[in-house]
Chains A and B, each alone.
Chain A
Amino acid sequence: MKNIIVVKNLGKDFKIRQNKNILTGLWNPDYRSMPAVKEVSFTVHSGESLALLGPNGAGKTTTIKALTGLIYPTRGEISVLGFTPFDRQSEYLRQIGLLMGNKAGLNWDLTARQSFYLSREIYGLEKEACDKKVAELAELLAVTHVLDVPVRKLSLGERMKLELISAILHSPQILFLDEPTIGLDIVSKKKIRHFLREIQERYKVTIILTSHDMTDVEKVCDRVIVINKGEKIYDGTVEKLVDDYNEDKIVKFYFELTPENLEKIPHSEIIEISEDSATFKVKTEHMPKLISHITSDYPVLDIDILATPLEDIIEDLFKK
């Protein structure tokens, strides 16, 4: 498949002023260079959905901003859809959309429909086609009833859904999403995730997403790039990440009455215990032994083998 994003040795340093003293600072400013992204390379092909993961300050948002042309990279090369993002060519900007979960793009004092009018003019969209698309997307996200309400009067969930419509109204080829579900309730999160999958399939949009919510990643993305301290530490599918780095398994045993002395079972750790169940965390290679040990010694009613949450896998990856 065709690569539409090519990033080679991307690096971005931020200059941080050290001396705040007005006199010395004015005549002899002292700046410290802090690398936000040290060296990151990757490619993305058309129609892919990619998650950039990493702890706060890892460099994922900086990477997204360099891809969208918002910040100027210190080193390296970026090509998106054949354009250099920072040139901010109109032809390039027409083909991308950006949604930032922690910032408001819609005008606070206007209704979403009024803001969409400006977007329509900016992107030169046909009125009928645009109105039809707004209606279609608003219905998918269940926000038709708030299209004519001033944005300042909306809930965060409603506002984010409308921000999302605004970001894709012009049918971008690539949609950049920076923490799209931050602060939302579970229902809104589910709706947005479902919507993103839907538009990816329906409009063949390439999605680049950053999120701290692993469910966003699991539900929306096929591929993950993990960045830590400005460097790429993993690049592959979500399934491969789980397979490669999932060294632990979670095993839950159900009993009539949970027996005592379970803590003494070797090579395992009890992470939860109740009257009728006990949950163990165990290395994958020790799992058969654990099951065999417990089923032979105690009257087990049922067993659940649970996958380690993606959060835990990523956390382990960062520790390594």
Chain B
Amino acid sequence: MKAWGSKIKIALRLLRASTINTFQSETAYFGNNWGNLVSTIFYTIVQILFINVLYSRVTTFAGYDKNEMFFLLFVSQLGFYFHWAFGNMNHKLLIEDVRRRTLDFLLILPVPALWYVTFRKIPLLSILRDGVPNLIILGLLINWSILPLTTINVIFAIIVFFLGQIAWEGFAFLLLLPVFWQGDSKQIYSLNYTLRDSENVPWEGYRPVFQFGLSVLIPTLLLAMIPVSVALGKSDGFIMLGFTFIIALIFLSLKRRLWRSALQNYTSAS
């Protein structure tokens, strides 16, 4: 127990140090990265317009009214930035590190390698710059007082949201691993962007076969659809928590197992 406490302490200390280092790196090119903000705001506006067009003809879609749809978009965007900060950026770095054989410098460090490649860069500044304005826009569009949120459902939804993020991070990580065997995996990894697009339709809008496929095999619906459904009381929070917990555990263990296998295949280079 004491050893675990010490490990967690070290992990948090490293997390803080690498986040400070990432912040320093981000400031080096800060002026060059405003394009991301334009791109994400444009995406959000298109999504808002789409919802407005959709609800000009119908009052509910898959049981969701317009306000709930905005809430879904809000959680979906929150998940996007969360994954971008804790997954996507580090995944892309890992692909490059394996391609350029600079992974050597990471593997030589006395830190758990898988933990370090997952969390080594957390781009706080970029998230603040690109994510917060979008989330504020969406937050202002939602009439929070009429959303049927209860404390217990929100707690369940938050846990499900984090478990969903863990599952998706594990899934996306599996997509990058072919770089260890093939020498590149950027194209395969880009599938994780495409597959995320299916997260803009509510959980209840999918047929059971798609609900199964897009939550168990490709856990995209765990990112926002299921947490929102739980938060709004449309799905049983307890069951969904158990379900996402199992999925997250499966992807986490797959990630660990295949990482070990990938390292055995890592050729490095002279």
> Taking beta carbons and an 8 Å cutoff, which residues of A are in contact with B?
14, 56, 60-62, 65, 68-72, 88, 90-94, 96, 98, 100, 103-105, 107, 109-110, 114-115, 117-118, 120-124, 150, 178
Contacts and interface: CB of A to CB of B under 8 A. Distances in A.
Given A109-B28, A118-B21, A90 B108 contact: no
Interface residues of B, number: 31
B69 to A, nearest CB: 40
Given A109-B25, A109-B29, A117 B20 contact: yes
A121 B109 contact: no
A164 B266 CA distance: 25
B267 A93 contact: no
B92 interface: no
A96 B101 CA distance: 19
Contacts of B29: 109
23 contacts: A14-B267, A62-B270, A65-B104, A65-B268, A70-B104, A70-B107, A71-B266, A72-B263, A72-B266, A90-B110, A92-B110, A100-B104, A103-B104, A105-B102, A107-B25, A109-B24, A109-B29, A110-B25, A121-B13, A121-B16, A122-B109, A123-B110, A178-B270
Nearest to A123: B110
Contacts of A104: 102
A60 B270 CA distance: 9
B111 interface: yes
Interface in B19-48: 20-21, 24-25, 28-29
Contacts of A94: 110
Given A110-B25, A122-B111, A117 B17 contact: yes
Contacts of B13: 121
Contacts of B263: 72
B264 interface: yes
A100 B110 CA distance: 18
B113 A88 contact: yes
Contact of A61 (B16, B113, B266, B270): B270
Given A71-B266, A98-B104, A110 B21 contact: yes
A82 B107 CA distance: 19
Nearest to B10: A124
A68 B101 contact: no
Given A62-B270, A103-B102, A90 B111 contact: yes
Nearest to B27: A109
A93 B109 contact: yes
Contacts of B269: 61
Contacts of B117: none
B14 interface: yes
Contact of B28 (A14, A68, A88, A110): A110
A105 B105 CA distance: 6
A65 B105 CA distance: 11
Closest 5 CB pairs of A and B: A61-B270, A121-B17, A93-B110, A109-B28, A90-B110
B72 to A, nearest CB: 37
Nearest to B21: A118
A117 B22 CA distance: 12
Question: Of B16, B101, B268, which is in contact with the most chain A CB atoms at under 10 Å from its CB?
Answer: B268
Contacts of A109: 24-25, 28-29
A90 B113 CA distance: 10
B188 to A, nearest CB: 13
Interface in B103-142: 104-105, 107-113
B18 interface: yes
A145 B266 CA distance: 38
A296 to B, nearest CB: 52
B170 to A, nearest CB: 21
Contacts of A150: 28
Interface in B62-98: none
Nearest to B109: A122
A30 to B, nearest CB: 14
B110 A69 contact: no
Question: Of A61, A68, A88, A110, which is in contact with the most chain B CB atoms at under 10 Å from its CB?
Answer: A88
Given A69-B108, A100-B105, 5 more contacts: A61-B269, A70-B108, A103-B102, A104-B102, A105-B105
Contact of A114 (B10, B16, B21): B21
A93 B10 contact: no
A178 B104 CA distance: 12
Contacts of A68: 104, 108
A117 B21 contact: yes
Nearest to B102: A103
A109 B107 CA distance: 21
A110 B24 contact: yes
Contacts of A88: 107, 113
Given A62-B270, A71-B268, A122 B110 contact: yes
Nearest to B108: A98
Question: Of A62, A71, A115, which is in contact with the most chain B CB atoms at under 10 Å from its CB?
Answer: A71
A150 B24 CA distance: 11
B231 to A, nearest CB: 38
A122 B107 CA distance: 13
Contacts of B266: 70-72
Nearest to B16: A121
Contacts of B264: 72
A123 B110 CA distance: 7
A121 B18 CA distance: 9
Contacts of B28: 109-110, 150
